Structure 1
Amino acid sequence: MTMREIRVLNDAWRVRREGGPDCPIELPADGVDAVVPGCVHLDLIRLGLLTHPDLGDGEAEQAWIGRTDWTWRRPLGPADRIGADEDADAVCEIVFDSIDTVGEVRLGEEILGHVENQFHAHRYRIPAEAFAAHRVLEVALRGPVAELERRVERYGDRPVNADGDWGVYSYLRKAACSFGWDWGPKCPSLGLPGDVRLERWRDARIDAVRPLVTTCNDRLAILEVLVDVVRDEATSEDGELRATARLEAPDGRVFEAEGVADPEADHVRILLEVPDPQRWWPRGRGGQPLHDLEIDLRRNETVLDHDRRRVGLRIIALDTGRDPEGSRFRIVVNGEPMFCRGANWIPEGLFPGTAADDLVIARIEQAVEANFDMLRVWGGGVYESQAFYDACDERGIMVWQDFMFACATYPEEAPYPESIEREADFQIRRLAAHASIVLWCGGNENVLAWRNWGWKERMDPAQSWGRHYFTELLPRIAATLDPSRPFLPDSPWSGSVDADPNDPDHGDRHTWDLKLEDVREMIPRFVSEFGHQAPPARRTMETAIGREPFAGESPDAMAAFAGRQRGWGGDQAQYDRWMDDWFLPPSDLDGRIWRMQLLQARATTFTYEWLRLHSNRCGGALVWQLNDAWTGHSWSLVDVAGRPKPAWWSARAACAPRLLAFSVGEAGIEIAAVNDTDETWGGGVSSGGVRIRRVDMAGVDLDAAALELEVPPRGTRAVALLPDLVIPADPSMELLVAESGGHRAFWFYGKDAWLSLPSPAFDLRIERAASNVFEVEITAQTILRDLHLDEGALGEDVRVDENLRCLLPGEVANMRIRGVSSLREDDLRRSGVLRTANECGPSGAGR
C-alpha cells in the first residue's frame, strides 16, 4: 500500500425510530431505507410516509420528528474493506463529513465517539478485523428540540431571537434557522447531511491544503501553500517527509516547488512564485482564471497522498481606515476598491446542507443574472457545499463568509469553546483555497442584539454571551490559519463591542429602520442587510396550499396565506402600513399580490440606486435575501420555486454596470449616473450627454434640455437640474424622463395612489420563435409604468428575458417567453398575467 485509499459508504443505510413522543405514522420495526447524504425528513417524504412541510399543514404534521431519537445503521463486511492483507497495520478510519447533530457513533458494541456539532467532520479509527466480524456501524442521534430543552434545564435560559419562540438554539451547533426564523418554519431535522467514507493510509496523509496568496500584482504573485498533514507514528518510516506542489496556469505555464516537513510541525510550507500572473477578479472587473494546483505528499520516493484543487490568484484587503466622516468599509481586490452589489444567502430549501448541487448553482446563476458580484453566507444557516464555492470561484462572485452564529447569546463554558474552535479550524482549512471568499465574519447580529435589543440589561453580568468567540477565539484562529483574508468580528460592526454596531459612519450597517424613499436620509459606509417583504408568485403559493383557499378571489383571500407569515407584526406591519400610503386598494386577490410585490420592487430600487450613487462614501449594498427556504412571506428576490419576484428585476436594473437615475441632492432633483466599467461614459452634448424631458401622461414634451454628463471609469456623477425644467405645473400629471446612450430613468412626482396614471392600454403581437419559445411585442397605447409579466401565471416552467419595464405611449418592448407550447393574446390578457403600476392609482382603482 502506498497512496491513501478511499471508499464511499453512502449506500446500504437504514434509519430507525428509537424513542420520543407517539409516532403518528406506521414505521417498520427495523426502520426504513435512508439516503446519505440526507436527513430523516427527506427519507420519510421520499417513501410517502410524511407530507413535505411546505405542503398544506405539513409543518404541524412533522413536529414530532424533532422530539424523536433516530439511529442510522449500516453493516460493514469484507466487501467494504480496502487495502491488502499485508497492510493490516495501516490506519483505517471512518469519516463523516457532517453529522446533524447530537448523539454518538458506534461500531458494534463499541462507542467510537460522541457528536454535537454539525459543522465539522468526524473521524474515527477502526480495527481491520471489523470487516471480517461483520460489525454494524451506527449513528444514534437525539431529537434536537428535546435536546435543546434538556440543555436549557441544565445550563439555564438565555436570550435568543424571537424571545426563545424558536427554542434556545444557541445551545446546539446546528443551523439556527432550522428551528424557525422570520422567513421560515420550525422543522429541525437530523441525519447525515455529508458523505460517509472509509479511508486507509500509512505514515502520513494530507488533512487540508491552504493556498494563501501573499503578493499579487500585475508583475508577480506569491502563493504560500500550506499542506496540513496528519502523521501516524506506528507506521512511519525513515526519511524526509516532503510535499511537492505543481501549479498549472490557464495559459499553460507550469510552476513547481517543494517543501520539507519539520518533524515537529503539522504542515509543510511551499512557496510558488508566478511572474506576470493571470489574476482572478470579481465579475465585472476582469476574468476568473483558475489554476490547477496538485500536491503530492512523499516519504522518500513513495507517494503517500495526493490532492488537487483550483485556485485563483488575487489579494484581498478590507479598508477600514479613518476619514473625516468616520471610518471606511470597503473590500479591496488586487489593490482596487470595490462597491459590492449583492445579496444575503440563506440555506436553499428547508433542510440546511441537503440541497442538490444543480439547484444551488441555479440560484447562483440568478445572482449573476441580477448583476450581483457578492453573496453573504449568513450565520444562521450552514457553511455551504463545495459546489457553492466552486460556482462562485468560476463566476467571480465574492463571498462574505459568516461563521455560524446568529441573533443570539452563546455560552462560553465547556464544552462549547473546544467544539467551536474545532469547527472554525475545520472550516477555514476546508475553504481557504477558494478565491471567491474575501471576508471571514464572526456572525450575524450577535453584538447588535446583546447591546441594542435590551439583552445586556436582562442578563446577569456574569453570564457569558459569546464575546470571547467574536473578539478572541475566531479572530485568533483566522489570523493563524488564513492571514491572507480580513476578519470582521460580527455584522454589523463599528469597531468595538462598546460602539453602536449600527453606526452609519463606521463599519457595516443593517438598515431595517429606513424603508422605501426614507433610505435617502442616510448614507452608511456599507449596508450588509436591507430589504422588504413580498409573497411568492401565486402559482408557487397554490402549489403549497392548494387553489381552493384562494377561490374567493377577493383581496381578503390572502388571509389563507396568513399561516405562512412569520415576520413581526404580520401583514399589517410588513405591507399594509406602506401600501395604504403608496397604492389605492385592490378589488381582487391578484391586485393585492401585485401591490405587495411591487412595494418590494420599489424598495429594492430606492436602496440600490441611492447607495450606488453615493459609492464615494458607501462600499456596498447586500439585499436581504436572494433565495428562499419555503413557500412563505419573505424578503427573498427569488421564491422557493426559483421564480423571480418583481424585485429581482428591479435589482437587476439597479445593479447594472451603468446606471442612470434621478436622485435628490441639496439643490433638489438631480440626474445622476454610475459607471462601473473601465471606459468613460458619456461626455458633452455633442457626444451624446444626457437628454432630460418633462412630459405629461400622454408622453407629450413640456420642456427639455440636453446636458453634459461624463462619468469616469468606476465613478459617479450627479448634476443638479434647473428648477424651470423640473418643477411641474401639475405634478400628478407629469414626469421626468432621462436618456443617455440607451439608458433611461424616470421620475414620478408622487406615490401611485395620487398620480393620474391612465388605465393601461397596449397592443400585442406574438410570433413563435422556436419550440416552446415565443417573441412578444408590446406597443404601449398609454404610458405603462412597471409593466410586469407573472411567469407563473402562464405555466409551471415559464421564463422571460425582460420584465418590469416603463414605456411611454407609442414605445415598443420586446419579450421572449420560454416554456409554453402555445401562446395566444387571450393568454396574456387574462387577469394576473400582465400587470402595471397604473392599476394601483385612481384610474386603476378596483384592479
Structure 2
Amino acid sequence: MVKRIIGGLLCCCSMVYGQNRSEAVTLTLNDHWLFSQAGTEKWLSAKVPGTVHQDLIHHQLLPDPFYGVNEEKIQWVENEDWQYKTSFTVSEELLNREGALLTFEGLDTYADVYLNGSLVLKSDNMFVGYSVPVKSVLRKGENRLQVYFHSPVKLVMPQQASNGFNYPADNDHHKEHLSVFTRKAPYSYGWDWGIRMVTSGIWRPVSLRFYDVATIDDYQVKQLSLTDEAAQLLHELEVKSVSAQEEQAEVVVSYSLEGGAKTTIRQEVRLQPGMNRIRIPMELPHPVRWMPNGWGKPTLYDFSAQVVCKDVTVAEQRHRIGLRTISVVNEKDKAGESFYFEVNGIPMFAKGANYIPQDALLPNVTTERYETLFRDVREAHMNMIRVWGGGTYEDDRFYELADENGILVWQDFMFACTSYPSDPTFLKRVEEEATYNIKRLRNHASLAMWCGNNEILEGLKYWGWEKKFTPEVYQEMFRGYDRLFNELLPAKVSELDGDRFYKHSSPYFANWGRPDSWGVGDSHNWGVWYGKKTFESLDTDLPRFMSEFGFQSFPEMKTIATFAAPEDYQIESKVMNGHQKSSIGNALIRTYMERDYIVPEKFEDFVYIGLVLQGRGMRHGFEAHRRNRPYCMGTLYWQLNDSWPVVSWSSIDYYGNWKALHYQAKRAFAPLLINPVQQGDSLQVHLLSDELKTLDALTLDMRLIDFNGKLIKKESIKFLSLPANTSMCVYRQSLASLLTTEQRANCFLSLTLKEKSGHKVAEEVYFFEPTKNLNLPQASVSYKVKQRNGSCELTLTSSQLAKDVFIQVPIQGARFSDNFFDLLPGETKKVTISSPSLNKEGKLDITIKHVRETY
C-alpha cells in the first residue's frame, strides 16, 4: 500500500526489517476529529480535511450559505476562534524508529498545534505545508493532538488599526480591508463574483510518518538539454539524515516509459547528520516529448529516487515527468513587444481561460471534480489555464491532470488587485510560501511560467489610488511593489526554478483607452463590459496576448433554482442582487442585450438570451485574436468556472453545467476553423489552423440559404493549401455582390471545408445581421429520444431555421455532445446527453428552446 504525504514523499506501510533498518510507515490522521467554538465545551464531530463552515453546516448550525441571502447569516463565524482535536495510538515498535514527522499539508490559517501538551507548530500561512519532527513528544499508547484556530479577522485587527490607512482591497467586503495582511486565499474575503466566506480549518490532509535513517525532503528532475537524440537530466535530492553519525547508503534513481522497462542508476553516498544535497546526472536516449493538447500526446515518464541503507529502502519519492521545452518569447519588435509561448521550439497560439478556485469551501473539491474540469478543458480544445492570483496554489492533483491532459499552466503567485504590505514579517512569510510552492510544482511539465501578481501594477498606475492616499503612502506602495515583485519573487524563481519565465505582473501594460499599449506584452481588455464597448471593438483593440477579457451571464434556470425561489425570479430581486457581485452587472447585461437581441419579458427567457449573448459575444473576440496571429498569440478569457452558484463571467457554472460560452469556446478553439467576418462593406473568409502540418487540396464550399431551406446561390474555392499553424484569408467579396439588403435579414451563409476525399474538416454558419434584425421563422423543433442507462440520444429536426437551440434537462452536470447550436432547415442533428443519473426506464424531462420563442 502506498501513501502520499507532503512534498510527494511515498511511504510503504508494510514493515520490512533488515539489520535494524525498516521501511517508513505513515499513519493518516484525517479521522475521528472533533471541533468546538473556543470558549465552549460543546465538541462535535468534524471532517478533516475540512473547514469550520462545512462542519457547522453538517450539524445544521449554519444555513446553506449559497441559498437566498444566507451569506449575511454566516458572517459571525469569521469573528470566532475554533478548536479541533483528535487522538491516536502509537506502538512501542513505532516509537523505536529513529524519526517521526508530523505533516499538515494545509492549515487555514492562524493555528497553534499542540501534541501531548507541547506546542509543536504555529501556522500563519494557508499556502504552506508544515512538517515538524515530533519523536521527542510522542508517547506509547494514546497521543492527543489539538489545533487552535485564531479568527483571521480579529487577529489582524490591531495590525490594520496601527497601519494608518485602509489598503485599496475593494474586493474585501469588509469595512476594514484585512485580507492584505493575511497569507490566505484572497477570494474568501469576497470578490466581484464571490461570496464572502472567511474560512478556518485543517484544509489539507494530516499524516504522521515514522522512519529510519533519512527522509527525502525534495527531489527535482532537472532537464539540462533536450534533443531528438538524447535528454540530459540531473537528479537533485535533498536528503535529511536523522542519524547521529555518518551513514553509508545508496541512492537509486530510475525511470520508465508507460510501464516499460526500467532504467536504473545507482550512486554510493555517505550521509552526514542533517541535510545532504546529492546530484546524479543521467542521459535518456531518444526521448519522447510531452506535447500540448491538440499537438500530440502529453507523454510522461515515471521517475523515482530511493535511499537504500543495508538493503532496505528507507525513503522514496516519485514523479511523473514530461520532457519538453517551453519558452516565453517576450521581445521588442516593430509593433512593440511580443508575448507568446514556444513549445518544443514551435510557436503556440494559447487558447484557454482564467481559473478560479472551484469552491468557496476548498475541501469540497473532489478528485472527480478535478477530472471533470480537465475533461471540460480538453474537450474545448484548450491548451492553457491561467491559475489566477486571487485564489490559491492548487492541489497536486490539479497539476497532475494538467500534465496528463497536455494543458499548460500560467501560474500566478497569490496576489491580486491591491497593494500589499512589505514589512520584514510579511516578506518572510511570502519567501516561505514561494519556496514551498516553487519546489512543490517545478517538476510538472505543464507549468509554463510564474507571474508575480494580477493587476497590481495597473492598479497603482491607473486606478486612481494616487488620489486616495497621501504622496508618502502612495510612493511606499511602489517601493513595496518592487520589494515583493521585482526583488523577492524573481529571486526565488531564479534560485529554485531558474529555467522558467517570470513576469512581475499581468497585464504587462494598462490599456484602458490607451491605443499605444495594445502592441506591448499581455493585455486585460475590460473595455468590453466595464467600458461598455461593443463586441466588435475586439476586432480592432488587438493585443499581442489577451490574458483576460470577459462578459457575464446568469447560470441556467436549474442552477438558479438551487439558490432562489420563483418569487425571486426578477433581475433586480434581493436574491438575484445577492448573487450578482458586480454592482453594474445585471443592468449591463440588459444594455448589451438590447444592442443585438429583442429583450424578452419573461425572466427565464432573459436568462436564456443572456447565455446566448455571452457565448456569441465572447466568440467574436476569440476569432479576432486567432485571426490576427502572429501579431496576437493567445486568448485566455475570464473566467472558466465558479466557486458558488452565481451570476458571473464563467463558461461553466458551479454545478458543472456548460454555458453557451463553453460550447462557443469549443467551436472557436477547434484546430481548424472557418472564420467569416464583415470588414467594412465586404465579407472576408479566413481559415485558421493550429495543426502542425500543411493541409493541401482543400475545397471551401459556400452556400447562401434562406431560413426555410431554399438555396439562393453557391460557390466553391478549390485546391486550397493551408500552411501549418497559421491564419489565412482565402475569400473576399463585397456584400452588395453577394446578396441584397433584404436577403441579409432572411438568409445565412453555410460554409464547409473539405479534403480531396470529400471528408468534411470544418463547418460554419454565418449571419449577416444582428439577431434582433433577422426575420426568424416560428420554427417547430421535433425530436426523437433513445434512452439508455447513463445516456440518451436526441435526434432533432426542423423544416425552418431554429436559432441557438438550447436543450435543457433537470440534471446538474449532465453532459451534452452539443448545445446552443443553430438547427438548420432540413438538417438532422443528433445530440447525446450523458449522466450517471440517466436510466433506460425513467422518462427524461426535456425542454427545447430557441430564440424565436422568446418574443
TM over 0.5: yes
The question of 1:543 aligning with 2:558 is answered no
In the alignment, which residue of structure 2 is the partner of 1:681? 695
In the alignment, which residue of structure 2 is the partner of 1:24? none
1:477, distance to aligned residue in structure 2 (A):
0.9
In the alignment, which residue of structure 2 is the partner of 1:534? 553
Q: Is this contact kept in 2: 1:255–1:272, CA < 8 A?
A: no
The question of 1:621 aligning with 2:631 is answered no
Secondary structure in 2 matching 1:159: coil
1:242, distance to aligned residue in structure 2 (A):
5.2
The question of 1:413 aligning with 2:423 is answered yes
Determine which of 295, 314, 330 is the counterpart of 1:320.
330
The question of 1:788 aligning with 2:806 is answered yes
- Residue correspondence of structure 1 range 478-489 to structure 2 within 5 A: 478-489=493-504
Determine which of 618, 626, 630 is the counterpart of 1:604.
618
In the alignment, which residue of structure 2 is the partner of 1:740? 753
- Measured in 2, the distance between the counterparts of 1:178 and 1:507 equals 30
Q: Please, which moves more after superposition, 188-197 or 147-156?
A: 147-156
The question of 1:658 aligning with 2:672 is answered yes
Q: Please, which moves more after superposition, 289-298 or 501-510?
A: 501-510
Secondary structure in 1 matching 2:196: coil
Secondary structure in 2 matching 1:182: coil
In the alignment, which residue of structure 1 is the partner of 2:852? 838
Q: Is this contact kept in 2: 1:160–1:169, CA < 8 A?
A: no
- Measured in 2, the distance between the counterparts of 1:309 and 1:38 equals 27
Secondary structure in 1 matching 2:486: helix
In the alignment, which residue of structure 1 is the partner of 2:209? 199
- Measured in 2, the distance between the counterparts of 1:205 and 1:825 equals 57
The question of 1:646 aligning with 2:646 is answered no
Determine which of 155, 162, 177 is the counterpart of 1:154.
162
- Measured in 2, the distance between the counterparts of 1:772 and 1:267 equals 53
In the alignment, which residue of structure 2 is the partner of 1:284? 294
- Measured in 2, the distance between the counterparts of 1:251 and 1:799 equals 32
- Measured in 1, the distance between the counterparts of 2:335 and 2:820 equals 37
Provide TM-score, normalisation by structure 1.
Answer: 0.90
Alpha-carbon distance change, 796 to 502 in structure 1, aligned in 2, over 3 angstroms: farther
Q: Please, which moves more after superposition, 532-541 or 49-58?
A: 49-58
The question of 1:717 aligning with 2:728 is answered yes
1:581, distance to aligned residue in structure 2 (A):
1.4
In the alignment, which residue of structure 2 is the partner of 1:567? 582
Q: How many residues align?
A: 809
Give 2:700's aligned amino acid. Answer: V
- Residue correspondence of structure 1 range 797-816 to structure 2 within 5 A: 798-816=814-832
In the alignment, which residue of structure 2 is the partner of 1:755? 774
Q: Deviations over 1:38-97 (max 9, x none)?
A: 111111222232222112333122111111100112235435x76253x4xx23232111
Alpha-carbon distance change, 457 to 726 in structure 1, aligned in 2, over 3 angstroms: farther
Determine which of 487, 493, 497 is the counterpart of 1:472.
487
Alpha-carbon distance change, 261 to 733 in structure 1, aligned in 2, over 3 angstroms: farther
In the alignment, which residue of structure 2 is the partner of 1:34? 46
Give 1:40's aligned amino acid. Answer: V
- Residue correspondence of structure 1 range 58-457 to structure 2 within 5 A: 58-79=70-91, 83=94, 85=96, 87=97, 90-132=98-140, 134=142, 136-162=144-170, 164-166=172-174, 167-232=177-242, 235-239=243-247, 243-250=251-258, 252-258=260-266, 267-298=277-308, 303-352=313-362, 354-457=364-467
Q: Deviations over 1:775-834 (max 9, x none)?
A: 322222211222221234xx4464321222223321221122345557999954xxxx32
Q: Is this contact kept in 2: 1:557–1:589, CA < 8 A?
A: no
- Measured in 2, the distance between the counterparts of 1:560 and 1:426 equals 41
Q: Is this contact kept in 2: 1:117–1:173, CA < 8 A?
A: yes
Q: Once superposed, what is the RMSD of the aligned Cα atoms?
A: 2.8
Q: Please, which moves more after superposition, 99-108 or 144-153?
A: 144-153
- Measured in 2, the distance between the counterparts of 1:243 and 1:468 equals 39
The question of 1:13 aligning with 2:33 is answered yes
Gaps of 5+ in 2: 1-20, 529-533, 755-759
In the alignment, which residue of structure 2 is the partner of 1:55? 67
Give 2:804's aligned amino acid. Answer: D
Q: Please, which moves more after superposition, 485-494 or 474-483?
A: 485-494
- Residue correspondence of structure 1 range 576-591 to structure 2 within 5 A: 576-591=590-605
Alpha-carbon distance change, 218 to 667 in structure 1, aligned in 2, over 3 angstroms: farther
Q: Please, which moves more after superposition, 521-530 or 255-264?
A: 255-264
Q: Please, which moves more after superposition, 239-248 or 439-448?
A: 239-248
1:172, distance to aligned residue in structure 2 (A):
0.6
In the alignment, which residue of structure 2 is the partner of 1:516? 535
Q: Is this contact kept in 2: 1:527–1:620, CA < 8 A?
A: yes
1:725, distance to aligned residue in structure 2 (A):
4.0
**Alignment identity in percent?**
27
Provide TM-score, normalisation by structure 2.
Answer: 0.89
1:643, distance to aligned residue in structure 2 (A):
0.9
1:127, distance to aligned residue in structure 2 (A):
4.2
Alpha-carbon distance change, 429 to 331 in structure 1, aligned in 2, over 3 angstroms: same
Alpha-carbon distance change, 700 to 681 in structure 1, aligned in 2, over 3 angstroms: farther
Stretches of 4+ moved more than 6 A in 1? 261-265, 499-502, 822-826
- Measured in 2, the distance between the counterparts of 1:618 and 1:690 equals 25
- Measured in 2, the distance between the counterparts of 1:710 and 1:457 equals 57
Give 2:53's aligned amino acid. Answer: H
In the alignment, which residue of structure 1 is the partner of 2:9? none
Q: Is this contact kept in 2: 1:774–1:823, CA < 8 A?
A: no
1:323, distance to aligned residue in structure 2 (A):
2.0
Q: Deviations over 1:112-141 (max 9, x none)?
A: 232210111122232445324855322111
